[in-house]
Amino acid sequence: MLKIPVLLFILMFSIGSFGQDKVEWSVSVENESSTILVSAVIAEGWHLYSQHINNKIGPIPTTIEFIPNKNYTLIGRTREPESLKEYDKNFEGELNFFKDEVVFEQKFKAYKPAIIDGVITYMVCNDTMCLPPRDELFTITFEN
């Protein structure tokens, strides 16, 4: 009788952990250029969608939201390198995405040492399935 609850626990744990760790995020500041670097390392076989996609056909674009405070202002929009553009079988349409790794850049101006909080919302897929969108919170400190 004890075997069934143990097996259910193991199954629930393995299903819950399956969707984790497909993207490893890191956020840093390049002091000389006052640029926030949001880096993603994407697991092999998976892809991360661009900020600039036609989401009318399904996937959630990557968004990086910076929580405003009086110690800094953003300059322009968050930039990304050129993405791949291919037919996506999951959504039956052409979409922009990244494989392996990508670095998003956001210029800013700090008025004093600043703590910058934000959230990255993203979705990853492979050739046969997609995982639900996730939010990744971050905090960085800029000392000028």
pTM score: 0.84
Report the pLDDT value the prediction gives residue 20, as an integer from 0 to 100. 60
Cα–Cα distance measured from residue 84 to residue 47, given in angstroms and rounded to the nearest whole number: 10
Cα–Cα distance measured from residue 84 to residue 44, given in angstroms and rounded to the nearest whole number: 15
Report the pLDDT value the prediction gives residue 44, as an integer from 0 to 100. 97
Sequence-separated (6 or more) residues with CB below 8 Å from residue 6 = none
> Which pLDDT tens digits describe the chain residue by residue (144 residues)?
444 433 333 333 334 444 468 999 999 999 889 999 999 999 999 999 999 997 788 899 999 999 999 999 999 999 999 999 999 888 888 999 999 999 999 999 998 888 999 999 999 999 999 999 999 999 999 886
CATH of domain 21-142: 2.60.40.1250
Burial class (CB in 10 A: 0-12, 13-18, 19+), 135: exposed
